[in-house]
Each structure stands twice: as C-alpha cells, then as structure tokens.
Structure 1
Amino acid sequence: MSDDLVKILVLGPSKSGKSTVTNFLAGTRDTPTKEYHETNPLRVLEVEIALDDTRRSGRQAAGLKKAVVQLWDVGGSSKHQAGWPAIASNADGIIYVFNPEVKGSEKELLLWYKNFALNQDELDDDNNFKMRVTDGHSLIFSHHSSLPEFAVGDNAIPPMPKQLQGIRALETSLDYQSDNFKEAFDALVEQIIASRLAAEENDLLQKEREAKDYPRLKR
C-alpha cells in the first residue's frame, strides 16, 4: 500500500479560526480580511502528508510512504447538530480550536468533545460512553486570529476542562506568537497511522496463531 486515508475533524466555537487553521494545514493561506465567513455546515479539504519510515518497523514500514488526510472543517453553530453523528463516523483524529481572547471559550470545547470524541450510541463495560477518538489522537489549538491582548504569557493557554486535560494543547497563530502546530499536526497523522498499522499487524498475527492452532483435517 502506497498511501492511506486519515479523517481528522476540526471542531470548536464559531469565529475561533477553524477555517484559517484548516486552510493552513491543507497548504493554502487565507487572504487577509476582517470579514467573517461562516462555515455552513462543513468543508472537506485534502492534503498529502509524507510519512517518516524511521518511526515504524517491521511490517508497519513496508511500502507506506504517504497519507491522504481529509480535514473536516465543521461549522461552529449547533443548528446542524442533527448531522453531527454522520460527520463523526469513522473519524481518526480531532483538532479542537478556540479563541483564548474570548473568556470561557475553552469550556465550550466540552460540547464538541462529548458529541464527537465520545460515541453516545455505545457503552463500555463500565457503562460509560465509548471513546470514538482517543486523547492521543487529538490536539487543542488556542488560536490567535488577531493581535493578542489578554491571552499572553502564562495565560496563552487557559486551564482546560477536566475531560480535556489529557489532550496536548498548543498556542497557535499565523501571524503572532505560535507553537509549531504544523509539526504537531504531522506528528498526529503519524501517530494515527502507526496505531492503525499496529492494530492491523496484531490482527494478522492473531490470525496466524489461530491458523497454526487449528487442527488440520485429515484427508
């Protein structure tokens, strides 16, 4: 296999910079404008990501050179909530985006976490909602779309709600102080692919063991 498909959702409140982030990660750059254009209800952009063979070994490294990533930029309005389960289906990763200049906006991410990271149609053995997308396959972007006024220094990334504290959070911007979120995005794709290939390899090994243990029929 020469490539693989990865579906990553970009979620968060309206006017948080999701489309700007999505365009950048997909290899385009917004034309500077102060006019807001609502995503209604979503956009899907694709980008190819080269994979680092040195991060994988054995069967995992064989032939896989790139991944085709679908970035699902989901509108921040809850008026399309009825369609969210369909959007969440088969998601591999999630990028949560919020504007730290808006007080309390990080708490709004809980709505997106509960509706997309959790599968509310299935329960685990402890009677909790099953995880659809794990914390390790997610990122949080504290995104500056304009010159930061309040969310600077130690306040650049406010404390996350308890349910989101296991997700890596980064300060992001295209024009101001920012962590290297493109590098974090590439690493996220690598992690998703590595986990998928490891699961496939484990499944193959299990089938091989079962085949060896299965008694051969006498002719």
Structure 2
Amino acid sequence: MDMKLKLVVVGPARCGKTRLSDYLSGYDESPSYDNYSPTAGVRILEFEREVRSKDGRVTRVSAELWDTSGDKKYEDCWPAITHKASGVILAYDPTARTQEKDIELWHKAFVAPLRLSDAQQLLCAHQRDPVGKRSWQPPRALEKLPFVASGLDNEDGAADLRRAFDSFLVGVVRAVADESKADTDAMMQSLA
C-alpha cells in the first residue's frame, strides 16, 4: 500500500523546528545550531519511509514535511500551509520561559481547527543541549497529546525523537487509512 502524507511542523520562533525537520526527514542526520537562519514562510522537505503497523502490514509513505516559520507575520499563510495536513508536530523549547504558553496558543490557532486525532499530533519539547537529563512534562492543556522531550546533541535524545516520530507516523497512517475507508463506505452507501 502506498500513501501520501503532508506533515506540518509548527511552533514559536527559535525553538529548533528546522533542525527537527532536517533530522526527521533524513535531510541532515546531525543538524547544527551554529548557523541560525529563520525560515521565511515555509520550507518543504520530501522523504519516503516504510511504516510498519503493529499487525505487520507495511505502508510505503511519501511525505512532505512542511517546516513553518515561527514568525507571526506569516499568519495569513497558515490556511494554505495547513490545507490537507495529515499530521502536525508541535515544537517548543521548554527552557525558554514563554514558549510553553506559546505552544498552547499555536495549538489553539493552528492545529485545533484541523480536527486531527491525538495520534495525528506530536508534541516535542526540544532543547539545544539537554543538561542533567531534566524530565520535561507537557503543558497541562496539551497533556493528552503524544509527547517527547528531545535533544539532538546526544544519542539518547535523538533515539527518543526517532521512536516518537515513528509512532507518530504509524498513528497518522492509521488515521488517514481509516478516514479514507470511511469516505469510501459513505460513497458506496450513497450509490446503493
């Protein structure tokens, strides 16, 4: 089975969305923080992956990963960016004081209107240099979402992120397949 997905990465400015996007898409397996260049609007990365469900079925996924700017001056572009999104990764830096509240606002404005299932969302508390293995918790308003605390500067953080992303992909594939089946069933019912 083949499936096309549109995945959108959102969150406040300077939280590491581009770095996460580069890593998750396979564009750059060890992205650096050394050169910060804010994303202008959106940047689209394409990748392919095989996703294996718990029952062993394999789905070949062709995905677009939309790395969005955290600058609110691009807010008018959001409807086009989110159009037909299959899943959303919400990223924030838990060490930046305001970003925990900001990510709740991003979810409310950007993600909630899409009416995605929890499995089609991944909340990522991403930090540059995880010192002392601090255990981050999701913001209370978003605690139902799948959550990963990550950092790409150590093997454990990268492995945690990869596992969470793989689970996220399984959830997105399942939700999209279920929606497609429901649409097909509804169409067949209307023809009967």
Task: Report if aligned partners of 2:53, 2:170 keep a CA contact under 8 Å in 1.
Answer: no
Number of the residue aligned with 2:163: 183
Equivalenced residues, count:
189
Number of the residue aligned with 2:52: 52
Q: What TM-score comes out, normalization by structure 1 length?
A: 0.76
Stretches of structure 2 lacking an aligned partner (at least 5 in a row): none
Q: Does 1:3 align with 2:36?
A: no
In structure 2, what is the Cα distance between the partners aligned to 1:65 and 1:147?
34
Number of the residue aligned with 2:121: 138
- Match for 1:170 among 111, 130, 148? 148
In structure 1, what is the Cα distance between the partners aligned to 2:125 and 2:170?
22
Q: Does 1:42 align with 2:36?
A: no
* More deviation, 25-34/7-16: 25-34
- Which string of whole-angstrom CA distances, capped at 9 and with x for unpartnered residues, describes residues 6-57 of structure 1? 111111111111111100011123553523110111110011110226537x
- Which string of whole-angstrom CA distances, capped at 9 and with x for unpartnered residues, describes residues 116-138 of structure 1? 2122xxxxxxxxxxx43232210
Amino acid at match of 2:145: I
Task: Report if aligned partners of 1:49, 1:186 keep a CA contact under 8 Å in 2.
Answer: no
* More deviation, 47-56/87-96: 47-56
CA RMSD across the alignment: 2.4
- Match for 1:198 among 162, 168, 178? 178
- Which string of whole-angstrom CA distances, capped at 9 and with x for unpartnered residues, describes residues 143-183 of structure 1? 1213437xx43xx3244142x12111111111135262212
Larger Rg: 1
Classify 1:201/1:16 alpha carbon distance in 2 versus 1 (closer, same or farther; 3 Å): same
SS in 2 for 1:118: helix
Classify 1:54/1:157 alpha carbon distance in 2 versus 1 (closer, same or farther; 3 Å): closer
In structure 2, what is the Cα distance between the partners aligned to 1:38 and 1:209?
49
In structure 2, what is the Cα distance between the partners aligned to 1:73 and 1:33?
16
Alignment map for 1:88-167 (pairs within 5 Å): 88-119=82-113, 131-148=114-131, 152-153=133-134, 156-162=135-141, 164-167=142-145
SS in 1 for 2:43: strand
SS in 1 for 2:49: strand
Number of the residue aligned with 1:16: 15
**Structure 1 moving runs of 4+ over 6 Å:** none
* More deviation, 172-181/76-85: 172-181
- Which string of whole-angstrom CA distances, capped at 9 and with x for unpartnered residues, describes residues 169-202 of structure 1? 1111111352622122122222222222223334
- Which string of whole-angstrom CA distances, capped at 9 and with x for unpartnered residues, describes residues 79-110 of structure 1? 11111111111111111111111123111012
Task: Report if aligned partners of 1:44, 1:71 keep a CA contact under 8 Å in 2.
Answer: yes
* More deviation, 85-94/175-184: 175-184
